[in-house]
Amino acid sequence: MCLGIPGKIVAMHDTQGLPMGVVDFGGVRREVCLAYVADEVKLGDYAIVHVGFAISKVDEAEAQRTFAVLREMSQLDELEWMKELAP
């Protein structure tokens, strides 16, 4: 129910006073209400979209940092495996 999908804002416009936009979800595009993120997003930003509403701008720096930490963890793990497998 609370499913939110990250997508890229590819168009922004105003519909009768309501900030709207088009968001691309890996090739699927859909009209999305941007009213709740209007002050912080620009074209090309990623947003988390829930039932047709952007509810947050994806913090790209944080997204990359989180993933780097996770990635590092798995590489360390692999080093351990390599040590174990070493003759």
Which residues make up the interface to another protein (CB under 8 A)?
A: 1-6, 8, 16-18, 25-26, 30, 33, 35-39, 46, 48, 50-53, 55-56, 58-60, 62-63, 65-67, 70-71, 73-74, 76-78
Q: Minimal distance in Å, beta carbon 31 to another protein?
A: 9
Query: How many whole angstroms separate alpha carbon 57 and alpha carbon 74?
Result: 28
Q: Work out the number of other CB atoms within 10 angstroms of the CB of residue 46.
A: 19
- Select 27 or 87, whichever has its Cβ closest to another protein: 27
Extract the tokens encoding 84.
Answer: 């174990």
Q: Minimal distance in Å, beta carbon 66 to another protein?
A: 6
Q: Are 20 and 13 in contact (CB under 8 A)?
A: yes
